[in-house]
Chain A
Amino acid sequence: MKKIILFTLAVFTFSVSGYAQKYFTKSGKITFDATASSSPEQIEAVNRSATAVIDIKTGAIQFSVLVKGFSFERALMEEHFNENYMESNKFPKSEFKGTIANNTTVDYSKDGTYNVKVQGKLTIHGVTKDINTDGKLVIQGGKINATADFNVLLTDYGISIPGLVADKVGKTAKISVNCSLELFKG
């Protein structure tokens, strides 16, 4: 009897640690485009040092990015982005914490492309909102490539665009995520 119990315990413990596999990256790419349709110039920036983690067992998925790490073609845009809109000194980070709703349909042990639905909380400019988006996981050779595109309404996150630049900066920003995650050995 005792042996059975010990075995059960061992299985539980093993199963928990065995499946608690996490994939991560610290060089994820996140871009955004807030160009208004009438704008003569592109309002877009890229950040190549996003941190992303996926726990394949629970389907938990989290992203974090330093706002100051967004790089613009025009230095003045970058200044306005940090100073006037994102207030990156006050709110240095943007985060997403959520889950893959259909995590069970993804076979992480097999190469392939899986469409996923992600839901969770997105924090930008100190404001947290629930969001849902479709994304894609491409599993190949033990790596996960996670991509997603979604739009956020800037006023939802307390970012107001003054009338003077409304012809350049749009009301919504399209955010694109492209992260290649590797197994976390920690």
Chain B
Amino acid sequence: MKRFQLYALIAAISVFANTASAQDEDLLSMVGGDEKPQKERVKYAFKSPRVINSHSIEFLNPGTLDFRILHRFGQLDQGYKNFFGLDQASMRMSFDFGIMHNLMAGVGRSTFKKELDAFVKYAPIRQSTGGKLSSPVTLALVSGITMDGMPWADPSRTNYFTSRLAYYFQAIIGRKFSEGFSLQVSPTMVHRNLVQLEGDPNNIYALGVGGRLKLSKRIALTWDYNHVLVGMPDSGYYNPLSVGVDIETGGHVFQLHFSNATGMNERAFITETTGNWGKGEVRFGFNLSRVFQLKKKKKD
């Protein structure tokens, strides 16, 4: 009889245990709801494909067109006479296209020197997490060309079309360290076919540092600096530094900033920045970006 009681107890326990576990058990983990970590691209390191002036490690989504209008006003130190620079404005407008998640191209036209520019940006490596072969950084390569549109300075001599051209090549290595903080460095080479003075170098090498610190979900602090390592003229030129905020609304990103650079393409802001932050030769500027979806993503 004792044995019977024991069996009854075991039976009771087994039934109880079964029902109890059926109530609480995590069915999802049982069928493998938690998949193995898959390789996943780290997205949205920057709000836009440009930090401020410089290219960022971010790309446009495939099938999208980014219409950008960049404004730089006059120097703040001009005072009330020129309403702190707002009376004068220089602009660049551009159309950038997202071709693949790691490939984009764009064309732009600037007021400054009536310059046309075009570029292609490609990322062979993108920052990712999980899985094998994930990379801690994004590597992007940019190749661009600019064309000066000004009348020839000296029409009396033989002028070649190629004299109007300059090229730039850039590698950008960047990482989104956390949700709120991204940083990138960008070694850049600018080659100018024709320079103003005999002593000016054709090749200029610079190292850029750009970053973003998110202040809230929709507002971020950004900065963008280029240090010319080789080829900086002795006087009159400075390294371009821009500091600003990105404000994101529905379909727009507003980038408001202060910068000592007037030019808005790589040739112009790396080699021809004449403002000195120390003297207040700084300009207020903003970038307006409106993204259009040209090709709709397949939903079904």
Which residues 1-51 of A have a CB within 8 angstroms of B?
1-2, 5-6, 8-9, 12-13, 16, 20, 22, 24, 26, 45-46, 51
Nearest chain B CB to A88 CB, angstrom units = 10
Interface of A is mostly: mixed
Residues of A within 8 A of B61 (CB): 75-76, 79
User: Assuming the A-B contacts A9-B7, A164-B250, A165-B250, are A26 and B31 also in contact, with contact meaning beta carbons closer than 8 angstroms in the complex?
Assistant: yes
Partner of B11, one of A8, A45, A53: A8
State whether the Cβ of A108 lies closer than 8 Å to any Cβ in chain B: no
A49 closest partner in B (C-beta): B35
State whether the Cβ of A64 lies closer than 8 Å to any Cβ in chain B: yes
Bound-state Cα–Cα, A16 to B12, Å: 12
Which residues 209-249 of B have a CB within 8 angstroms of A?
217-218, 248-249
Residues of A within 8 A of B25 (CB): 60
Q: Which of B15-23, B106-114, B118-126 contacts A (4 or more CB under 8 A)?
A: B15-23
User: Assuming the A-B contacts A9-B7, A16-B15, A79-B43, are A74 and B30 also in contact, with contact meaning beta carbons closer than 8 angstroms in the complex?
Assistant: no
Bound-state Cα–Cα, A71 to B40, Å: 15
Partner of B31, one of A45, A72, A76, A184: A184
Whether B22 lies near A60 (C-beta < 8 A) is yes
State whether the Cβ of A62 lies closer than 8 Å to any Cβ in chain B: yes
Whether A89 lies near B250 (C-beta < 8 A) is no
| Range class of the A interface residue count | 35 or more
State whether the Cβ of B33 lies closer than 8 Å to any Cβ in chain A: yes
Whether B297 lies near A74 (C-beta < 8 A) is yes
Whether B251 lies near A76 (C-beta < 8 A) is yes
Bound-state Cα–Cα, A130 to B25, Å: 18
Partner of A74, one of B4, B32, B296: B296
Residues of B within 8 A of A60 (CB): 22-23, 25, 27
Whether A22 lies near B31 (C-beta < 8 A) is yes
State whether the Cβ of A57 lies closer than 8 Å to any Cβ in chain B: yes
Most A CB contacts (10 A, CB to CB) among B25, B250, B251 go to B250
A-B contacts, CB under 8 A, total: 101
Whether A62 lies near B297 (C-beta < 8 A) is no
Nearest chain B CB to A122 CB, angstrom units = 14
Nearest chain A CB to B280 CB, angstrom units = 34
Residues of A within 8 A of B22 (CB): 20, 55, 57-58, 60
Bound-state Cα–Cα, A20 to B14, Å: 14
Bound-state Cα–Cα, A58 to B20, Å: 10
Whether B14 lies near A13 (C-beta < 8 A) is yes
Bound-state Cα–Cα, A184 to B293, Å: 42
Whether A22 lies near B30 (C-beta < 8 A) is yes
Nearest chain B CB to A57 CB, angstrom units = 7
A160 closest partner in B (C-beta): B217
Nearest chain B CB to A94 CB, angstrom units = 12
Nearest chain B CB to A12 CB, angstrom units = 5
Nearest chain B CB to A79 CB, angstrom units = 6
User: Assuming the A-B contacts A51-B31, A64-B33, are A5 and B4 also in contact, with contact meaning beta carbons closer than 8 angstroms in the complex?
Assistant: yes
* Other contacts beyond A62-B26, A73-B297, A84-B248: 12, CB < 8 A: A2-B3, A5-B7, A5-B11, A12-B11, A16-B14, A26-B31, A51-B33, A58-B23, A68-B40, A75-B63, A79-B43, A82-B44
Going nearest first, the 5 A-B pairs with the smallest beta carbon separation are A75-B61, A53-B27, A5-B7, A58-B22, A16-B18
